[in-house]
Amino acid sequence: MSNAFDLTGKVALVTGGSRGLGREMALGFARAGADVAIASRKLEGCEAAAAEVKAIGRRALPHACHVGKWDELPGLVDAVYKEFGRLDVLINNAGMSPLYPSLEEVTEELFDKVIAVNLKGPFRLAALAGSRMAKADGGAILNIASTAAVRPSPGAEPYGAAKAGLNALTRSLAFAYGPKVRVNCIMAGPFFTDVSRHWDMEAFKERAATTLALKRGGDPSEIVGAALYLCSDAASFTTGAVLAVDGGSY
């Protein structure tokens, strides 16, 4: 069964791959044998994560790209194919959820940016990569959503709406690109990434004690097992699934 999780000879593209959950998945996939393309807005961050992948012994491609900008995405996919000659796994991980003082003060610009990064970009990348995967050897697409998609998200309403759309896209794209391409989604709960530095940690611990079965937030490395499962042959009969990895959120 261990061979089912082996990604040797595969190529994975991880957006938002320079830090947080994306970085952990990039490194986890490299340890499983994959070569990895890492995309993020800042090239230096991509290069740092790529150096970590190379230290594991895998090839890596750092590529600066803003996922929310439609016209930049074909160049990202083309760069991966130029470097590696193939793409087997796409992880739509890049996301953003800026703070705002009140709902009536949410500007159209802020709303559009949140939708662009969390929903429009993943759709475009999935279409670009999925169509090429389907014409070749197939592959896997993994969307990273949030429990904000299905639970009240005060202070993050546009973000929750965008992630709910990503859940819906997951199911539709599974049919659009099946049977050769599987499309799944991880609905992530609270992880201690860079964003968590801005949390009121005492208030979070108090909430976690009653709203999370595990009574704690997740370490970013704890998303890797679920991601590896959904993108490997271990999940060969799993598509259109939305898997909660959230510590048992109530």
Q: Which amino acid is at 63?
A: H
Q: How far apart are CA 77 and CA 180, in angstroms?
A: 19
Query: 228, 32 in Cβ contact below 8 A?
Result: yes
For residue 159, which of 223, 111, 108, 120 has the smallest C-alpha distance? 111
Q: How far apart are CA 91 and CA 227, in angstroms?
A: 9
Residues that are catalytic: 159
Query: 150, 163 in Cβ contact below 8 A?
Result: no
Angle, helices 121-135/73-84, rounded to nearest 10 degrees: 40
HEC readout, 222-244: HHHHHHHHHHCHHHCCCCCCEEE
